[in-house]
Structure 1
Amino acid sequence: MQEVTPSPVPTRSGPAIVRAVVLTLSLLVLGWLAWFVLRTAEGQRLDESSMVSVVAGRETQLTVLSLLGYVSISAIVVVALVCVGLALARGQVALAVAALAVLAGANITTQVLKHGLLERIDGVVVAPNSFPSGHTTVVVAGVGALLIAAPRVLRPLVVLGGSFAVTLTGASTVVAGWHRPSDVVGSVLIALAWTAAAALVLGGPTDRARAAWISAPLGAVAAGVALVVIGVRPSYGWSGFGEAAIVLGGVALSAALGVALMQRTVPAH
């Protein structure tokens, strides 16, 4: 009698591995970045010069500060209510809890790290620690929470608008002189880690929407263009154009990559 080979059973470990890898890499990069920009003179020097590479006139500064004024505890509450409403409308209480966990966890982590655990050694920068950025965390954590709670039909809009908002907020904090570029990247990594962790607990297949890898960069580029339009310029004219472009491009890249990876880790349902 011919032996019958059983058909392979589809594995469910793939999505969990993706989420675990994203979570682990986010934490590793976050730890390395914090060490480099806070504990080494070279990192401090590079971070400081990056922050002062872009400048804005008085009117642009006022515009930037007014934009940052919308990023507050009230904004967190509004996003939380929207997430809960979206999740409950779909009958998914677990999604509401996970979205709230991302919002609360990322923002609390940022404040604990900045004000309690991390310190800047004496070196190039003589100033209190500003790593990571609280304003950027509010926005990027909100994007992660919305991606978890929103139905798939709305997620492309969340990715596009979220990438735009994260880039605009993060770059604005740099232009305003509130934060260095590393502070912005650190915030993205924290929110990404929390989103991946929440998705890991939720389980289920990942959302493989490839459009996110297009819409996220588009949103980031649009934010960069908006900053240039309102008057953000290199500090040293054309001689400083390269450094300013690298700084704004780096902020935009971290925002786009962070939002796209969030989309990649959240459950497909």
Structure 2
Amino acid sequence: MTQQNAPARTRRPWLSAPRCLLAFLAVHLLAVRTPFGQRAENALFGGEGARPAWIYDWSGAAYGSSALPPLEHTAVPTLVVGTALVAAVALVRRRWRLGCAALGVIVATIGGKEVARAVLPRPDLVGARASLLEPSFPSGHVAVPAALALAAVLVASPRVRPYVTAAGMLWLTVTAAAVLATYHHRPSDVLGTTLLACACHLLATRLLPPADDRADVRHPRTLPAVALSLSAAGALVAGARADSLTESLVFAAAGFLCAALFWFTTTQPPARRGAGLRRGDEVPFAACQDAREPDVGARDDAGRAA
């Protein structure tokens, strides 16, 4: 057997739904249920409220200002419109399973956020001031772009999916950094929400059958670098504050970490169920994604034999 004809190894994903959920609980336990975690996050709220944030004029916090969706009062309308668009794309493409999975990601993320907020308390372990005692884990505003973007990645066609991923990652990053810079949430809130949404997405891809999109689509190799660079720039701008460089960098780092989780969740090979396959016989991810790619090595061997 030639090297070209050797069976490709299956790339095993390092992110999974159980791991994301374990990380979600770990973030809560470390940041919310320990004095060290509470002191560290409470120390980030030493400025003069939301006004010094660079994105203040677009946060909806100022009277009469416009809010960047899904900040402030735009959260629910953004969720409704985004869900309708995801359903419409699934209907147009006639991808019923993908549409149901995408809607499931949205419902599970938003519902999971509500349940977690209700059952996960925030005890006062450090004698914090009253304004810091309200439970905020996980973030509801970050749940909206996380759920909608991950759902959109599911229903998007292979031709536009990388661009949908890049746009969704940028939207999530800016939202996460903005709610931190305006003192609406703590870093653990946005990280917890992103982990919850990623867990829902990974569970959906785990339950779906192997991808049947067989179009031979090629995208620019620089797209990942461009997407990550834009997300980093968005995190720096949205998380910046005029009164503290340290807070600005922490908020930007937390926002970019959300982008990294989103990127690895949507670009790693999905862990499909191996129905009807023996262990070790799983279909490689590359074969699922591009089943029409010609076997150049086999064609060359046949030509030499002739």
* Greater Rg over alpha carbons, structure: 2
Indicate the SS of the match to 1:179.
coil
* Partners of 1:234 and 1:148 in 2: CA distance: 38
For residues 80-102 of structure 1, the C-alpha deviation after alignment (integer angstroms, 9 at most, x for no partner) is: 22212222222210010000000
Indicate the SS of the match to 2:82.
helix
User: What corresponds to 2:32 in structure 1?
Assistant: 38
Gap regions ≥5 residues in structure 2: 61-66, 214-218, 271-287, 291-306
* Partners of 1:96 and 1:113 in 2: CA distance: 25
Question: 5 Å matches for 1:96-135?
Answer: 96-114=99-117, 116-124=118-126, 125=128, 126-135=132-141
Gap regions ≥5 residues in structure 1: 1-6
Question: 5 Å matches for 1:2-81?
Answer: 14=10, 18=13, 21-52=15-46, 56-57=51-52, 60-65=55-60, 66-67=67-68, 68-69=71-72, 71-81=74-84
Distance 1:225 1:206, change over 3 A: farther
For residues 164-218 of structure 1, the C-alpha deviation after alignment (integer angstroms, 9 at most, x for no partner) is: 11111111111221100110001100100000000001131599x8767434422
Distance 1:227 1:162, change over 3 A: same
Pick from 219, 229, 246 the counterpart of residue 230 of structure 2. 219
Question: 5 Å matches for 1:159-198?
Answer: 159-198=165-204
Tell me how large the CA RMSD over aligned residues is.
Answer: 3.1
Distance 1:75 1:256, change over 3 A: same
User: What corresponds to 1:90 in structure 2?
Assistant: 93
Distance 1:188 1:71, change over 3 A: farther
* Partners of 2:192 and 2:223 in 1: CA distance: 21
> Which of the two has greater helix per residue?
1
Q: Is the 1:161–1:219 Cα contact (8 Å) retained in structure 2?
A: no
For residues 18-51 of structure 1, the C-alpha deviation after alignment (integer angstroms, 9 at most, x for no partner) is: 38x4212211111110111111010111122235
Instruction: Tell me by how many angstroms 1:224 deviates.
Output: 2.5
Q: Percent of aligned positions with the same letter in both sequences?
A: 25
User: What corresponds to 1:249 in structure 2?
Assistant: 253
* Partners of 1:55 and 1:61 in 2: CA distance: 6
Larger CA deviation: 218-227 vs 53-62: 53-62
Indicate the SS of the match to 2:184.
coil
Indicate the SS of the match to 1:184.
helix
Query: TM-score when scaled to structure 2?
Result: 0.72
Pick from 148, 156, 160 the counterpart of residue 154 of structure 1. 160
After superposing on structure 2, the runs of 4+ consecutive aligned residues of structure 1 that deviate more than 6 Å are 7-11, 209-212
Greater RCO, 1 or 2 (C-alpha within 8 Å, sep 6+): 1
User: What corresponds to 2:268 in structure 1?
Assistant: 264
